[in-house]
Amino acid sequence: MDRIDRKILNLMQRDASRTNADIADEVGLSPSTCLRRVQRLRKTGVIEKIVAILNPSRAGRGIKALVTVELKLHGEQHMRQCLNLAVQEDAVSHAYSVTGETDVVLMLRLVDMEEFDALCDRLFRDQTNVARFFTMMIIRTAKEETAIRL
């Protein structure tokens, strides 16, 4: 990946709806050369996918929370079971297996507190392998960036 590839990627990360001709003009390439570069970046997996980023509040999921989870039983099988349950939930936008005292970290985008309560019943209570979980409701976001600095 060279300087021009990084410039193309930075432009696309800011606004992937720009036309190929517009991006090509900005980086000083012909449209066909620019398109070949973008296709190569997709083929090699540098560009994983192109998506629309929604405003969560306007899309009806204005409540954001982080949940840390500590499991009763540890090991790969138990971790995968917890993560598999989490990824099936519409409200879970990110699910991570992490190091340290916490085993799993979840980012939630919720409609309301009723949805959160029902999610807690399914993921954290009764017949689950969860020893305890801690929830942090996000009250203000200072930075939330999707772009990767190149």
142 secondary structure, DSSP code:
S
**Fold held by 63-137:** Alpha-Beta Plaits (3.30.70)
Report whether pLDDT(127) > 90: no
- Tens-digit pLDDT profile for residues 43-62: 999 999 999 999 999 999 99
Could you give the maximum distance between any two Cα atoms of the chain, in Å? 61
- Tens-digit pLDDT profile for residues 10-30: 999 999 999 999 999 999 999
Q: Are 28 and 43 in contact (CB under 8 A)?
A: no
Locate CATH 1.10.10.10 in the chain. Answer: 3-43
**Fold held by 3-43:** Arc Repressor Mutant, subunit A (1.10.10)
Taking CA atoms, 23 is separated from 18, 33, 72, in Å, by 7, 11, 51
